[in-house]
Structure 1
Amino acid sequence: MAYAEVNGLRLWYEQHGSGRPLVLLHGGFGAVESFAALLPALAARRQVVAVDLQGHGRTADVDRPLRYEWLADDVAALVGRLGLGGADVLGYSLGGGVALRVAIQHPGLVRRLVVVSAPCRRQGWYPEVLTAMAGHDERTGERMRGTPAHRVYARVAPRPEDWPRLWAKSGELLRRDYDWSAEVVALTLPTMLVFADADSVSTAHLVEFYRLLGGGHRDPGGDGTGRPVARLAVLPGLTHHDILGSPALPAAVLPFLTHPVVPPG
């Protein structure tokens, strides 16, 4: 457990287990504690490196807006600092967007990518989710005091008083439009998408996202040689908010991370 100086930021990270590195990136207002339910299963097979992104958890905020692209550069710098080239990266929600940007911006650093409950363009969220995101500001942060996320933040953050500031900066990020579809099409690394069957990302978009990665275009054939490199998992009976705590998530992800992925013949 330590800090790394990257891009003017003291980035907190924790390492658990041994083996090929797997970088974990939490969701908005989260921290490495978000992965508590997953860590035992993942660290039993991998060297897990869990990161607190800018302004989250133990990583203090700096005088810089929150941007997916800059957060991705921070993670890439950490991977380089720790000598983890060829790491797998798994991100959830906000962290899923950051993980996707790491793969896009620093393709040589990422071996396999897992995106959990995150779209590749802003309009992939359901309209009511976009409305809620647009309302994130300091007043929202004040109303969220006492929630589980706030209790973790109050316990571990270097400056607990920055909680409303985090909500304001997150709202500014989440109101910005983005569409990474063209860059997703160009990805060549094995990528797995994981969603809940009642996610905050629309069902139509998860299919669209999978198709951009080369999936869902044709029958793979009787021997499966026509199957795409990309993988899609839709986990039943879950939502965007409880997918991280489900044992179904490591059960779906670990085979993808550990088994050979054969390109289409």
Structure 2
Amino acid sequence: MSYAEVNGLRLWYEVHGTGRPLVLLHGGYGAVEMFAPVLPALAGRRRVIGVDLQGHGRTADVDRPLRYESMADDVAALIRHLGLGETDVLGYSLGGGVALRVAIQHPDLVRRLVVVSAPCRRQGWYPEVLAAMDTQDERTGERMRGTPPHELYARVAPRPQDWPALWVKTGELLRREYDWSAEAAALALPTLLVFADADSIPVGHVAEFFGLLGGGHRDAGWDGTDRPTSRLAVLPGLTHYDIVTSPALPAAVIPFLTTQVREPA
């Protein structure tokens, strides 16, 4: 457990297990602890590097806005700082957006990508979820005091008084339009998409995202030779909010990380 000085940021990371590296990127208002229920299963097969993103957990904020692109650069700088080489990257929700941007911006650093409960464009969220994102500000953060995310932040953050500022910056990030469809379609690495069957992202967008990665266009053939490089897992009985703690998540992820996948042409 340590800090890495990257891009003017003291980025917190912690390492668990041994083997090929797997970077974990948490969701909004969270920290590495989001993965605590599934960490033993993942660390049993991988050298897991959990990261607290800018302004989250033990990583203090700096004087720059929160952006998926800059946080992706931070993660890439950490991978280089640690000398990890080609690395597997898994991100959940906000961290899923960051993970996707790492693969887009730094494809030489990512061996396999896992995006959990995150769309490839902002309009991929349900309208009511977008409406909730539009309201996230300092007042919302104040109302969230005493909740488990706030209790964790108060316990581990270098400056616990920055909690309202995190909501201001995150709200501004979440209200920004983006569409990474073309960049996602151009990815040339094995990618696994994981969603809950009652996620905050409609199944129509799940199918669209999977299609951009080459999935769902044809029958794989009796011997599977026409199977796409991309993979899709829709986990039953889960939502956007509990998928990250379910044992079904590592059960879907580990085979993808450890099984030979035909490389894209």
Matched, 1:232 2:232: yes
Residue 202 (structure 1) shift: 1.2
State the distance in 2 between where 1:57 and 1:41 align: 22
Look up the match of 2:144: 144
**Identity rate of aligned residues, in percent?**
78
Alignment-mate amino acid for residue 220 of structure 2: P
TM score, norm. by length of structure 2: 0.99
Look up the match of 1:162: 162
Q: Contact 1:68 / 1:101 at 8 angstroms: preserved in 2? A: yes
Map residues 88-127 of structure 1 onto 2, 5 A cutoff.
88-127=88-127
Q: Contact 1:113 / 1:189 at 8 angstroms: preserved in 2? A: yes
State the distance in 2 between where 1:207 and 1:11 align: 35
The alignment partner of 2:194 has SS state of strand
Q: Contact 1:227 / 1:264 at 8 angstroms: preserved in 2? A: no
Q: Contact 1:25 / 1:92 at 8 angstroms: preserved in 2? A: yes
Look up the match of 2:75: 75
Map residues 205-220 of structure 1 onto 2, 5 A cutoff.
205-220=205-220
State the distance in 2 between where 1:264 and 1:158 align: 43
The alignment partner of 1:119 has SS state of coil
**Structure 1: 5+ residue stretches without partners:** none
Q: Contact 2:189 / 2:263 at 8 angstroms: preserved in 1? A: no
State the distance in 1 between where 2:161 and 2:71 align: 22
State the distance in 2 between where 1:220 and 1:47 align: 33
Superposed CA offset, 1:196-253 (max 9, x none): 0000011100100000000000111111100100000000000000001110000000
Alignment-mate amino acid for residue 189 of structure 1: L
Q: Contact 1:59 / 1:158 at 8 angstroms: preserved in 2? A: yes
Give the alignment's Cα RMSD to 1 decimal.
0.8
Residue 85 (structure 1) shift: 1.3
Deviation beyond 3 Å, 4+ runs, structure 1? none
TM score, norm. by length of structure 1: 0.99
Alignment-mate amino acid for residue 258 of structure 1: T
Q: Contact 1:190 / 1:261 at 8 angstroms: preserved in 2? A: yes
Superposed CA offset, 1:164-222 (max 9, x none): 00000000000000000000110010000000000001110010000000000011111
State the distance in 2 between where 1:24 and 1:122 align: 22
Provide closer, same or farther for how the CA distance between residues 264 and 140 of structure 1 changes in structure 2, counting only shifts above 3 A. closer
State the distance in 2 between where 1:228 and 1:12 align: 36
**Structure 2: 5+ residue stretches without partners:** none
